């Protein structure tokens, strides 16, 4: 097998194509955060498609934005899923977020028990596993970024999450 070496554009294209095959659109916000459909601010998110409607060919028609609406709010296309990532940060950061959300999509697709389980019971474990998968993915494709910095950012994210969930990770 040959080495997998991708630049950022090729990595984004690979994820976008794979996501499209699974009924998921990839979208980028030009701000520091994107808003989830619930209105929460986030660096990125994944919403799975409806199982039945996502394969309909007309489901890809774009929805026109209403004048005066929040420019960073995305109208979901009925039946399709979405990976949405904020990009007003260092490229290495949003590429990491994209890899993370892509891994959530893969977990959904393979019916990963951590992904399909009760969220309040396994939020930390799911995010921990997703970070490991995202780091492995970025390493596999030898992206031009510092894996040491990506590991540091992952540890920082997981520490903040543990604090927010009031989880003791020192055990």
Per residue in 49-101, pLDDT (tens digit) is: 984 444 443 333 344 445 555 555 555 566 899 999 999 999 999 999 999 99
Cβ contacts of residue 101 below 8 Å, gap of 6+? 44, 45, 46, 83, 84, 85
The helix (run of H) or strand (run of E) holding residue 139 is: helix 119-140
Q: Are 39 and 31 in contact (CB under 8 A)?
A: no
pLDDT for the residue numbered 56: 40
The pairing of beta strand 44-47 with beta strand 41-42: unpaired
Q: Is the dihedral of CA 87, 90, 140, 162 positive or negative?
A: negative
What integer is the mean pLDDT of 119-139?
A: 91
């Amino acid at each position: 097998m040959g080495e997998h070496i991708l630049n950022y554009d090729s990595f984004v294209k690979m994820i976008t194509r794979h996501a499209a095959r699974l009924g998921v659109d990839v979208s980028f916000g030009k701000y520091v955060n994107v808003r989830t459909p619930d209105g929460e601010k986030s660096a990125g998110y994944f919403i799975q498609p409806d199982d039945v409607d996502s394969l309909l060919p007309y489901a890809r028609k774009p929805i026109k934005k209403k004048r005066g609406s929040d420019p960073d709010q995305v109208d979901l296309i009925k039946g399709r899923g979405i990976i949405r990532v904020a990009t007003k940060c260092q490229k290495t950061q949003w590429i990491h977020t994209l890899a993370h959300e892509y891994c959530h999509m893969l977990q959904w697709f393979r019916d990963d028990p951590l992904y399909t389980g009760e969220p309040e019971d396994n939020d930390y474990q799911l995010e921990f596993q997703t970070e490991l998968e995202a780091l492995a993915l970025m390493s596999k494709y030898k992206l031009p970024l510092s894996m040491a910095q990506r590991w540091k950012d992952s540890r920082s994210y997981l520490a903040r999450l543990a604090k927010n969930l009031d989880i003791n990770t020192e055990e």
